Amino acid sequence: MQIHTSIESIRKARRQAGKVAFVPTMGNLHEGHITLMRQAGENADAVIASIFVNRLQFGPSEDFNKYPRTLAADCEKLEAAGVAHLFAPDESLMYPEPQTYHVEPAPAQISILEGEFRPGHFRGVATVVLKLLNIVQPDTALLGKKDYQQLMVLTNMVRQLALPVEVLPGETVRAPDGLALSSRNGYLSEAERAEAPRLYRQLTHIRDAVRTGDHDFLKLETEAMTALTEEGWMPDYIAVRRRADLQPPVHEDDPLVVLAAAKLGRTRLIDNLEI
């Protein structure tokens, strides 16, 4: 695997690589990321990954400086997964001057759910991903369903801006007990890790109830929030929404997804299940 720290170097490698699949990350990689890398390689001549901790998507109360930087371990995992090239720029390369031009996603899509609790987050995500896509110029980009709202925002950005890249979603990778793999899981204590799968079980209950004809979404959401609270969680939201735009369902045949975010101790976990 070749490691690139300049735009000129990664663009030269891309020109020589044939059909390219791209997986952007912030590092601190786990098996969910590696599964995306393997999926990316199924229909491409070369996989390019990026590792960049993006300051623009961190809120004032989120500690950018404490985000785990594990480049050496990440490189070993990427090479084992068959990744051909890693773009690992430093901040001065990505933002050599103050970033005064930004991508502004549709307000209705980023003022809800994660956007309500992390204002400005998706603006920062969309801006850096657009910049990375412009630098790497891949044929396809692999994005995980674990961050469902992020996937929606970026898919819509690519479509509306007519970017010459196909966004491919990757399924959420889970531990045997159902917990969605996440870099944040490392912050859980032993007791919290044992409790954490309850979030997935609540989503599974809602999914199964809706599939069997229960469309009282408010009741299902409220019951799940209460069940988590009673076990010491601090839920931000549990919501059944349309997959296309994450707005409340209107028609019975709308493809749906149930999404959740909740704090367990100091760790904020997110998850979702398509219905």
Which of 4, 30, 33, 215 does the annotation list as catalytic?
A: 33
Rounded Cα distance between 175 and 31, Å, is 10
Rg of the chain taking only CA atoms, in angstroms? 19
Burial of residue 16, with CB atoms counted within 10 A of its CB: 0-12 exposed, 13-18 middle, 19 or more buried: exposed
Spatial contact of 7 and 93, defined as CB atoms under 8 Å apart: yes
DSSP state of 42: G
Structure token pair of residue 154? 């970026």
Collapsed DSSP state (helix, strand, coil) of residue 232: coil
Alpha-helix residue ranges (DSSP H) falling in 177-239: 190-195, 198-211, 217-230
Rounded Cα distance between 218 and 202, Å, is 14
Residue 33 bears catalytic tag: yes
Catalytic residues: 33
